[in-house]
Structure 1
Amino acid sequence: MINNEKILSIARETILTESKAISQMADLLTDDFAKCVQLIHHSKGRLIVTGIGKSAIIAQKIVATLNSTGTPSLFLHASEAVHGDLGMVQPDDVVICISKSGNSPEIKILVPILNTFGNTLIAMTGNLTSFLAKNAQFILDTTVEKEACPNNLAPTNSTTAQLVMGDCLAVCLMELKAFKSEDFAKYHPGGALGKKLLLRVKDMLDETKKPSVSPENNIQSVIFEISEKRLGVTAVVENNQIIGIITDGDIRRMLSKTETISGITAKDIMTKNPKMVKPNSMVVEALNIMEDFSITQLIVSENNDYKGVIHLHDILKEGIV
């Protein structure tokens, strides 16, 4: 019976074996890789990625990565290709065929057909003498010495190598396209990631909750304003200019230091020069300011024109963190 210590030892050995296989890939890169990147970058068509078995699963992930980083790509299952799906391949498309052995029956059927179409064919394979390698215009070498599988059978190191090669293509293409975080956001508008990249402060402002007092307002008025707007804060405004901020913490500290609040006004307890953020700023920027200064609210203003308040709780509700 294998004990826990042995299980951990096997897992560590698997990680080390796969990491070694990946590190050796750097020496397998040739001019073919650079030419493939340039070819895909300048192509007027899409990138079609095909494979069979485990390689097909890797192909789908590579396609997903490329699409999300600005390279239009489609997945073509090698076995379905000869049953009608070849219709998705257009004249300007570039095709990557992934196969460890490069000699599977489906590959031997598909490759000659693709070559008759006239599309540029790129082989991603670990067998440089295979049918696939010999019939492709370019080769991406994903050779591994062995699999992490104890029987050297189950695709482990080889599929990891394929995945890494796909990532190399995607990252190089991103660099050629000067792909920015703003571009990334276009393809990820949903979920927390999309909100983090797209949501701006002005999108979260509630115009009905814009707490404001004048510097001469008494403490009762300040407390009422903070309580009514339920943001835990109010701006202190004079001549349409923000001159300070009062939080519920300021109120508590003031009450702990005085026996009477008679005669105390907003200007007496306000914090001058409060931290502010512009309406067009990204919400994640506002969050960073809050974290840097250990605060939970920010005044929103444009050229010192008071727009409202953004609260940490509202950001958390959006699921950005």
Structure 2
Amino acid sequence: MKNASLITRIARKTLEIEAEALRRLTESIGDPFVACVNLISHSKGRLVVTGIGKTALVAKKIVATLNSTGSASLFLHAADAIHGDIGMVQPDDILLCISKSGETAEIKMLALLARQSGNPIIAMVTRPDCSLANMADHVLLTPLEREAGPNDLAPTTSTTLQMAMGDALAMSLLSLRGFKAEDFARFHPGGSLGKQLYLRVCDLYPANEKPAVGPQAGIREVLLEMTSKRLGATAVVETGSRKLRGIITDGDLRRMLSAHQDVSDFKAQDIMTASPITVHKDTLAIRALDLLRTRNISQLVVIDEVGDYEGFLHLHDLVREGLV
């Protein structure tokens, strides 16, 4: 392949430079970081994150992460802010200004306006002696030795550090606020990720047929029930109730037919699997999928609080919802 050696060497060097910078960033986490997290955690307002150029893109990502993990935040482009959008900043809001140099004119002007309004300012900068750091109430340092690209020009390592610092803030705030999987599901209802966190068995099985026969049902009745309900199985329940006795699958029928010439006298209770694998109707669907995979089966009998038969959950139900 053309230039394979050169490409590989450049890519590895880029990652090595950024990995080393992240290691140094880890070592820099201390009291100033803790103070920023506590300030944001106790705030009655939002965290307004601002930047310009590449740092504006970083700011947008940090805002998205914070909002999705329960910390109210807002993106404000520094250039737009000084042309009217600073009106978005409310009295209780905190301003997080991201700047590599800490000398960007628009961000310095925005910080000055925020100070005049009494909003606390957090500066995320690479040097502690820059103008923005001197204007801020708190400073988050992202110490930078060099960018990963040639001539130390294109923002690479610096934006990696800024994104990582934003993640560290978000995860620290998440932990302090006791943010749980249920909360995450509330903010992420769409897609397979959201479904893993909120979709339950009871949301799926009612759409299926509910095959059931009594213990004394003959083979013909069992076959007709399984065929008409098209689930490849039927539950065996006590006559006149929903008390589960067992399950009969198409595999059980095949094994019976292979082992016996005359099956005319067989009853459901003779071929059923007693104490079948079941799942409670309020179980998360993703947990039911784990059970299907572990047991290498394609359907589960759904039961209620007292163990009565409710229906069937089939692997196809989970496939249809995008969980597989």
TM-score (norm 1): 0.97
Q: Which residue of 2 aligns with 1:297?
A: 299
What letter corresponds to residue 315 of structure 2 in structure 1? Answer: L
Q: Which residue of 1 aligns with 2:202?
A: 202
2:275 aligned with 1:273, yes or no?
Answer: yes
Displacement of 1:145: 0.9
Q: Which residue of 1 aligns with 2:39?
A: 39
Q: Deviations over 1:264-303 (max 9, x none)?
A: 2211211111111111111111111111111111111111
What letter corresponds to residue 171 of structure 2 in structure 1? Answer: V
1:25-104 to structure 2, matched below 5 A, reads: 25-104=25-104
* Paired residues of 1:196 and 1:320 also in contact (CA < 8 A): yes
Displacement of 1:89: 0.2
Tell me the secondary structure at the aligned position of residue 202 of structure 1.
helix
Comparing 81-90 with 8-17, greater Cα deviation is found at: 8-17
Tell me the secondary structure at the aligned position of residue 255 of structure 2.
helix
**Counterparts of 1:64 and 1:117 in 2: how far apart (Å)?**
26
Displacement of 1:6: 2.2
Structure 1's unaligned 5+ residue stretches are none
Q: Which residue of 1 aligns with 2:235?
A: 235
Displacement of 1:159: 0.4
What letter corresponds to residue 60 of structure 1 in structure 2? Answer: K
Aligned in 2, Cα 1:307/1:142: closer, same or farther, shift over 3 Å? Answer: same
2:173 aligned with 1:173, yes or no?
Answer: yes
Deviation above 4 Å: which 4+ runs of structure 1?
none
Displacement of 1:253: 2.0
**Counterparts of 2:5 and 2:259 in 1: how far apart (Å)?**
60
Q: Which residue of 2 aligns with 1:150?
A: 150
2:315 aligned with 1:312, yes or no?
Answer: yes
**Counterparts of 1:179 and 1:172 in 2: how far apart (Å)?**
10
What is the root-mean-square deviation of aligned Cα atoms in Å? 1.4
Q: Which residue of 2 aligns with 1:11?
A: 11
Displacement of 1:110: 1.5
**Counterparts of 1:229 and 1:178 in 2: how far apart (Å)?**
45
Tell me the secondary structure at the aligned position of residue 184 of structure 1.
helix
TM-score (norm 2): 0.96
* Paired residues of 1:207 and 1:308 also in contact (CA < 8 A): no
Question: Structure 2 residue aligned with 1:282, among 281, 284, 306?
Answer: 284
What letter corresponds to residue 126 of structure 2 in structure 1? Answer: G
Tell me the secondary structure at the aligned position of residue 129 of structure 1.
coil
Comparing 186-195 with 161-170, greater Cα deviation is found at: 186-195
Q: Deviations over 1:225-263 (max 9, x none)?
A: 111111111111014210111111212222222223211
- In the alignment of these two chains, the number of paired residues is 321
Displacement of 1:151: 2.1
Q: Deviations over 1:184-232 (max 9, x none)?
A: 1110011111111111111112266101011111122112111111111
Structure 2's unaligned 5+ residue stretches are none
Comparing 206-215 with 107-116, greater Cα deviation is found at: 206-215
* Paired residues of 2:24 and 2:143 also in contact (CA < 8 A): no
1:125-140 to structure 2, matched below 5 A, reads: 125-140=125-140
* Paired residues of 2:47 and 2:94 also in contact (CA < 8 A): yes
